[in-house]
Amino acid sequence: MPTVGRCAVGIALLLLWVSALAASVADFEYPSALRDAYDADGDCWVGMGIAGEYPVPVRPERWLVGPPPSGLSAVTMPTDDWVELLFSGTIVRADGNDVEVGEWGQAGEEATVFLTDGVDQEYAVGVAKAKLYKMQALSHIGLSLADVVTPFAPRGLRLVALDRGGGAPGFDVAYVRARVSRACGPRADHPDPVHRADGVGPTATLVWTPACDAVAQSVYLSEVRSWVESGDPAVRLCVVPGDVNCVEPNGLALNTTYYWRVDAEGLEPGDVWSFTTSDHIVLDDFNDYGITGGFLYETWRSSGMARVGEELLYARRSCPQSMRFAYYYDSIRFSETHRRFSPPQDWTQAGAQALAFWLYGMPGNDTKGEMYAVVGDANAEQRVTFDGDRGILARPEWTAWWIPLADFNAVDLTAVERVGLGFVWSSAQPGQFGEGTVFVDDLSLYSSMCLEERRPTGDLTGDCRVDHRDVMQMAMEWLDTRGRMVDVVAPSVPVLWYRFDGNVNDSAGVAHGEIQGRPLFEPGVCGQAIRFANPGDAVTVPNAPVVFSGIREAITIAFWQRGDDSPHRTDTICCSDYEYGRSHPSIAIHLGCWRDPGQYRWDCGTPWSFANRVAGHHRSKREWAGRWNHWTFTKDVRVGPEGAEGLMRVYLNGVLYDSRTGTDSPIEGIKSFQIGSGWYGHYDGLIDDFRIYDYALSEAEIAYLASDGTAQLPWDTGLAADLDGSRTVDFGDFAILADQWLDNQLWP
C-alpha cells in the first residue's frame, strides 16, 4: 500500500500549500538535489572545508544541496568540470537577479551557467564571473532571466567551469540559489522526480504541487504509459485529499521506467510524467569513513590476518575513497573482513537479483588461494567462492564480481545482518603462503542485467530480449544493403571552403581564415586536416558578413570530423557571433556534448530559439569520436508541410540522421564566424574539408560529398539488423529473429 502525506518541499521548507496566495509566491531557494557532477580529469572532488581549509575531499551533494555547510566551504571545479543542481519547483524570473552563485577567491574565475529541464535540455543563461580583487573573499554573482524563454519548465542549473584566464586553479562554488515557484495552476505541476528523470532510487517519494482547486486527487502509476494516459482504474495508486502533495509508492522495482499522473477530481486531467529507477542499490560506497563518520575499521571488522583501512590516493571507483584490504593466507590462516547491518536489511527489495563487489588488484598479488563472499542472517551464514579468473586480483583495473543472490539460498535474504569478503588457501601445504592487497568499492545490489556475452543474436535494441522493439528496428532497415551504391550529384560551388591542406585558405576565394591559438595540421580524409587541441585553438572567418550576405533562407554546412575522446564534453564545432547573457548565435553546431555517448545540437535561425534547434542523443560515441565521420547540416525556410514551413536536417555519412519541420526563422545578421570553438566551449579533434553553401543540398549532393563522388557511402550506418551477414536486411534475418522470439537472456 502507498503511503500518502503532506510533504515540505524545498530546502528552505517553504510550506506552499494550495491557495490563491501560492500562485504568486516565488522566493530564492537552495538546490534540493544533485543530478550530476562531472569530474573531467578523473580526480576526486576537492574544495574548501567547513573551516575554510584547502584542499580537502568534498562531496558536491553535501556541499551544494541545501544551505552551504559554512560561510567558508566551497567545491572546486577545474576547467571542464560541471555540476547540475535540481530545485523543488520551477525556476522563474522577476525583477532583479533570479540566479545567485557564490564563488570563493575573487581571482576572476568563470563558469557558464545553463538552465536545464533536469534531464537533457539546456539553455545558456550567461557566465558567472568572480571579482578580480585577488583576495580570499566571496563573490556574490547574480544573473537575470528577464529575457529567457524556454519550451521546458526550468528545474535545474548546470555550471561548467571555464578556462579563460582566471587566476586560480578552478571555479570554487560556495553556494547556488535560484528564484523558485511552486505556484498552483489548473492541474498538478512541479513533479519530483522531474519528468524523464533517471537514476531514481526505488524508495523515492512522488511529490507534486496540487491543482489550485483540487478537492480530491487520483494518483496513477504504471510501467505502461497507455494505462496511465487513459486513467485505467487498475493502475490508480490511491485517491487523496486535495491538500496532499506526496505519495510513497512502496515497491518500485530497479531499472524500470514508470509513468505517473495526478488528476484533480472535476478538473482537467494532469500531465503524464515519467522516471526511470536506478539499476542498483548501494550498500556501502566506503566514502564517509574517516571523513564524516567513524573510521572504516570500526565498521568493517577484520578476522584472521586481514587488515583494512581507507584508501584515498591509489584506487577508488567512486570518490573520494575505497577500502584497502591487505590479505594473507597459509595452510592454517585466512583473511576476512565483514560488516554488520542494524537493523537487518531486506535484499529482496526492488527486485534485486545480484550482489556486486567492485575489486581493483595489484601486480604481484598472490592468486593461488580462494576468494569468497559471505552473507548471513541471525541464524545462518553462507559462503560463495569466486569461480572466475583469479587474475583479476593482480590486474590494476576495476572489475565487478557478480554473485547471484540465489547462490545464498541458505540465508534469509529479507533479514541480512552480515556481509563479508575473505581469502583462504584451503589446499596449501605447510610452509606455503600467499599475500596481497586489493581495493574494494561500491558494494551494491543489482537488478537483472543485460551482459554482452549473453545477448541473443536477434536482440537489436541491446536489452537482451527479442520482442516487438527488435521487429520495429528491423522494419526501419528492411531491404537496406551494406555498401550500397547511391545516386550522387556534384553540388555547386560553396561560398566558403576550407580544405585545411596545411593552411586555412578559402578555396572559394572569399575569406581566407585566421588561425587563433596553436592548432596543428595532420593527415586527414582529403589531404590534410586541422587539429584543435587547446581551449584557444580556432579558425576565425574574416569578412563573415560578406560570406553570409547571400544566405537568408537556406544554408548547408558540411565537413569531415574525427573527435578526440577527451574529458572535455562541451564541444562546439562552429558558431556565429554571440554574447553571453545578451544574445545567442544564429548558427551553431555541437557534437559529443555532455555524458557519453553524447548529444548533438544544430541551431540555425535569427533570433535563436528552441523552435529552430535540432537536438538529440548520439546512438554511439563512434558517431563523433575515434573515426572519421561526414556530417552535413541543412536548413531551408521555404520548404516543409503547410503550416509548418521550414525544414532543418542532419545527415551522418550521407544518410539522414535527424530532421525537424516548422523551423522558419531566417538567417540574418551574421557578424562573425569561427570553427573549432564557440558558444558551449572548444572542440577537441580533427576537422577536414569544411564547406558552407548558400542553399540546402539535396540528398544526392550530400551523398556526393560523403562518398567523395564514388557513390559508395563511407560507413554502414544503421544496419544492425543484418543478422546473417548477407549485406541486406531481408527474410533471412527475419527468420533468425523469429527463431529467438521472446528469448530473454537477462542475468541472473
149-153, 332-336, 552-556: which has the minimum mean pLDDT?
A: 149-153
CB < 8 Å & 24+ apart, contacts of 193-196:
193/275, 194/86, 194/117, 194/118, 194/119, 194/155, 194/156, 194/275, 195/117, 195/118, 195/119, 195/271, 195/273, 195/274, 195/275, 196/117, 196/118, 196/119, 196/120, 196/273, 196/274, 196/275
- Distance between alpha carbon 541 and the CA centroid of its chain, in Å? 33
Q: Is the pLDDT of residue 489 over 80?
A: yes
Overall average pLDDT of the 129-138 stretch: 87
Domain 452-482+719-739 CATH assignment equals 3.90.960.10 = no
The tens digit of pLDDT for each residue in 247-298 reads 999 989 999 999 999 999 999 999 999 999 999 999 999 998 987 668 999 9
The predicted pLDDT at position 717 comes to 54
Instruction: Tell me the pLDDT band of 218, cut-offs 50, 70 and 90.
Output: very high
The CATH class of 189-271 is mainly beta
Percentage of the residues of the chain whose pLDDT score is greater than 70: 95
- Mean pLDDT lowest among 349-358, 504-513, 559-568, 602-611: 559-568
- The torsion angle over the Cα atoms of residues 77, 78, 81 and 84, rounded to 10 degrees, is 20
Give Cβ neighbours of residue 729 (< 8 Å, ≥ 6 apart).
474, 477, 478, 479, 480, 481, 719, 721, 722
The answer to whether 504 and 537 are in contact (CB under 8 A) is no
First-to-last C-alpha distance (Å) of the chain: 28
**pLDDT at residue 11, rounded to an integer:** 36
User: Hey, is 50 helix, strand or coil?
Assistant: coil
Arithmetic mean of pLDDT, 37-62: 90
Angstrom CA distances, 358 to 351, 441, 646, 647, stand at 21, 5, 51, 49
The mean of the pLDDT values for the chain is 92
**Options 2.60.120.200, 3.40.50.2300, 3.90.470.10, 3.30.365.10; which CATH number does 496-707 get?**
2.60.120.200
Fold of 26-178: Jelly Rolls (2.60.120)
pLDDT-derived band at 716 (thresholds 50, 70, 90) equals: low
Could you tell me whether strands 335-345 and 301-304 are parallel, antiparallel, or unpaired per DSSP bridges? antiparallel
Strand-pairing partners, residue 47, are 56, 75
What gap in Å lies between CA 142 and CA 552, rounded to an integer? 36
Q: Residues 293-343: pLDDT tens digits?
A: 689 999 999 999 999 999 987 778 888 899 999 999 999 999 999 999 999
Contact 242, 264 (CB under 8 A): yes
What are φ and ψ of residue 296, in 5° steps?
-60, -40
Q: Is residue 99 over pLDDT 90?
A: yes
Task: Tell me if 681 sits within 8 A of 563, measured CB to CB.
Answer: no
* Torsions phi, psi for 707 (to 5 deg): -105, 5
Q: Where does the pLDDT of residue 241 fall: very low under 50, low under 70, confident under 90, or very high at 90 and above?
A: very high
More confident of the two residues 619 and 134: 619
Closest to 68 in 3D by CA, of 138, 145, 154, 124: 138
pLDDT of res. 694: 98
pLDDT surpasses 50 at 127: yes
pLDDT digits (tens, 9 = 90+) for 373-386: 999 999 999 999 99
| Percent of the chain whose pLDDT exceeds 90 | 79
**Residue 25 in this model has a pLDDT that exceeds 60:** no
Cβ-based neighbours of 157, under 8 Å, separated by 6 or more: 31, 84, 85, 87, 91, 99, 113, 114, 115, 116, 176, 178
Q: Mean per-residue pLDDT for 183-209?
A: 95
pTM over 0.85: yes
Nearest to 623 by CA among 613, 634, 631: 631
Evaluated on CA atoms 423, 426, 428, 430, the torsion sign reads positive
User: Is 23's pLDDT higher than 50?
Assistant: no
Other CB atoms within 10 A of residue 222 CB? 18
26-178 and 496-707 agree in CATH topology? yes
Q: How far is CA 120 from the centre of its chain?
A: 8
Among 319-323, 502-506, 568-572, the range of highest mean pLDDT: 502-506
Higher pLDDT, 328 or 55: 328
Tell me the backbone φ, ψ of residue 226, rounded to 5 degrees: -60, -35
Domain locations along the chain: 26-178, 189-271, 281-446, 452-482+719-739, 496-707
Q: What distance in Å separates the CA atoms of residue 549 and residue 323, rounded to the nearest whole number?
A: 63
Query: Residue 262's pLDDT is what?
Result: 98
* Residue 173: all three cell numbers together: 562554488
Question: Within its chain, how far is the Cα of 420 from the centroid?
Answer: 33
Q: Are strands 273-277 and 197-200 parallel, antiparallel or unpaired?
A: parallel
pLDDT tops 60 at residue 166: no
**What confidence score (pLDDT) does residue 636 get?**
98
Distance CA 623, CA 627 (A): 8
Residue 165: pLDDT above 80?
Answer: no
What single string gives the DSSP state of each residue in 564-618? ---S----EEEEE--BTTTB--SEEEEEEESSTT-EEEEEE-SS--GGGEEEEE-
Whether the pLDDT of residue 686 is over 90: the answer is yes
Class of domain 281-446: mainly beta
The string of pLDDT tens digits covering residues 193-203 is 999 999 999 99
Please determine, for residue 167, whether its predicted confidence score (pLDDT) is greater than 70. Answer: no
Cell of 99: 540566479
Confidence class of residue 92 from pLDDT cuts 50, 70 and 90? very high
Confidence of residue 169 (pLDDT cuts 50, 70, 90): low
**Cβ–Cβ under 8 Å, residues 27 and 14:** yes
pLDDT tens-digit series, residues 427-480: 999 999 999 999 999 999 999 988 877 889 999 888 889 998 899 989 988 887
Q: State the Cα–Cα distance between residues 12 and 115, nearest whole angstrom.
A: 21
Q: Are 141 and 174 in contact (CB under 8 A)?
A: no
* Number of neighbours of residue 12 by Cβ within 10 angstroms: 17
List the one residue out of 614, 586, 612 whose CA is nearest residue 600.
614
Confidence of residue 4 (pLDDT cuts 50, 70, 90): confident
